[in-house]
């Protein structure tokens, strides 16, 4: 059991560096936006995309290259967030939503970023400039942001990420297994990451390699909740 636990812990967290970022048509514009920093046209940049589209990986890459201060609670900027912005430190706001948004505090944060000559990267599922906001000036600030949208992961991205995720867990998988999985999964990186973990754990438990029959069986054994999530 200790040996198996050690194996299960290896490579559980995927690497989120720039070198690990796989760029295809689905994320090319957003990746280019991150790479252009600090030569941004606006102090404010927003990357939009659905769950599992890769926003967090891009945010992690940008934080590493910029030394950004990451907000703990995006809808409600803290005093530490404002202090960092006023000092000109780049700000990362990963996962902003209109729910519970402290409009006055966020407006002051954006003003602090711009006033100090800094920059802020916001990730959100939808474009903030389209949100219904009571603060017209905040709406104006969001409209001034540079926007890059992430599309649904394409086949090239899903295939390459699948290989990478298995490699992160020190597993080599036959390309035929990946080809079998992809059309049966929701087109999201989070769904792909989920099945990779489940397959690795199933193979370890049975002390076997990951094969197409094991992949088919693992898919069938998903709970009803997982089946809905993966579109099965």
Q: Mind listing the pLDDT tens digit for each residue in 20-50?
A: 788 989 999 999 999 999 999 999 999 999 8
Model pLDDT, residue 125? 95
Residue-wise pLDDT for 52-87, tens only, equals 888 999 999 999 999 999 999 999 999 999 999 999
Is pLDDT of 224 > 50?
A: no
Split at pLDDT 50, 70, 90, the class of 188 is: confident
In the block, tokens 């699948």 appear at 162
pTM, rounded to two decimals:
0.78
Cβ pair 126, 97 in contact under 8 A: no
What average pLDDT does the segment 209-215 reach? 94
All structural domains of the chain: 28-149 (3.40.50.300), 153-230 (1.10.8.60)
Token pair, residue 102, equals: 């402290």
C-alpha span between 68 and 137 (Å, rounded): 25
Model pLDDT, residue 9? 38
Is pLDDT of 2 > 70?
A: no
What average pLDDT does the segment 135-141 reach? 95
């Amino acid at each position: 059991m200790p040996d198996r636990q050690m194996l299960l812990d290896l490579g559980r967290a995927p690497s989120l560096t720039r070198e690990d970022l796989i760029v295809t048509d689905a994320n090319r514009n957003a990746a280019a936006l991150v790479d252009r920093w600090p030569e941004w046209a606006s102090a404010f940049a927003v990357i939009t995309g659905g769950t599992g589209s890769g926003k967090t990986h891009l945010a992690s890459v940008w934080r590493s290259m910029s030394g950004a201060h990451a907000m703990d609670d995006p809808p409600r900027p803290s005093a530490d967030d404002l202090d960092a912005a006023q000092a000109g430190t780049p700000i990362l706001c990963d996962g902003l939503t209109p729910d519970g948004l402290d409009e006055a505090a966020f407006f002051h944060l954006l003003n602090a970023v711009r006033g100090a000559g800094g920059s802020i990267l916001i990730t959100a599922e939808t474009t903030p400039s389209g949100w219904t906001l009571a603060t017209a000036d905040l709406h104006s600030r969001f409209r001034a942001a540079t926007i890059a949208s992430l599309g649904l992961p394409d086949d090239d991205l899903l295939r390459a990420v699948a290989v990478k995720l298995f490699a992160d867990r020190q597993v080599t998988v036959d390309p035929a297994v990946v080809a079998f999985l992809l059309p049966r999964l929701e087109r999201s990186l989070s769904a792909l990451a989920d099945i990779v973990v489940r397959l690795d754990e199933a193979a370890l438990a049975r002390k076997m390699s990951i094969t197409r029959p094991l992949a088919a069986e693992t898919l069938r054994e998903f709970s009803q909740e997982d089946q809905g999530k993966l579109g099965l």
